[in-house]
Structure 1
């Protein structure tokens, strides 16, 4: 289980860094770069068992709440040109938060069971 957690932590840490990098052209880049960097740092820290499982579950809950709040009024997909750009951007942001929530809950669960 330790190797699985390390591989997942490093993999998602790198993926969240890429998520932060592509936010440079977002209308509110600072906010989203910070969010993705937090998810990346916590993922790397989880790989080496440096984050309490309770913090991971709290972050997962916060990201899940962010998903609910950011979810667009009308889901029109993720592709530019296939719907209103505002709805498309909100969908991308919301599902990014959902992915972060799932990853934090996964790390929290793995960390909890590893400590038992």
Structure 2
């Protein structure tokens, strides 16, 4: 788990760094840095189950916002092939940017969920 968390800590810091020229960096930089901080803490052996839960909750709220109040993600699922998301780094269509943002949030949720599950004490059945 230590290597897992170090790798994702680095990836989330890089993800935060590339958000500086985004239209709304004040949202995305803290979101990615929060995930990086939790991975750093987990790599140091400090598990924070409440912080994992809080992060997952906030990330889920953002995903729900994108699904119900923005049309881009749903448009992509219905009308566009997956290759359009990675064809170029330029997000010239709103559905490209929004879908990439939801995918980033999904990765954050998955990593925090893995850490949360790993932080639960194991019960060994008695014989």
> Normalized against structure 1, the TM-score is what?
0.81
Partner of 1:85: 93
Please tell me the root mean square deviation across aligned C-alpha atoms, in Å: 2.5
Count of matched residue positions in the alignment of Structure 1 and Structure 2: 112
* In structure 2, C-alpha distance between the alignment counterparts of 1:83 and 1:58, rounded to whole Å: 30
Is the Cα contact below 8 Å between 1:68 and 1:94 reproduced in 2?
A: no
TM superposition shift of 1:84: 5.9
Task: State whether structure 2 residue 52 is matched by structure 1 residue 45.
Answer: no
Alignment of 1:35-114 (within 5 A): 35-71=31-67, 72-75=73-76, 76=80, 77-79=84-86, 80=88, 85-113=93-121
TM superposition shift of 1:55: 2.5
The gaps in structure 1 that reach 5 residues or longer are: none
Structure of higher CA gyration radius: 2
Is the Cα contact below 8 Å between 1:10 and 1:44 reproduced in 2?
A: yes
Q: Please identify which structure carries the higher helix content.
A: 1
TM superposition shift of 1:114: 5.5
Partner of 2:10: 14
Distance 1:88 1:15, change over 3 A: same
Distance 1:54 1:114, change over 3 A: farther
Is the Cα contact below 8 Å between 2:91 and 2:97 reproduced in 1?
A: no
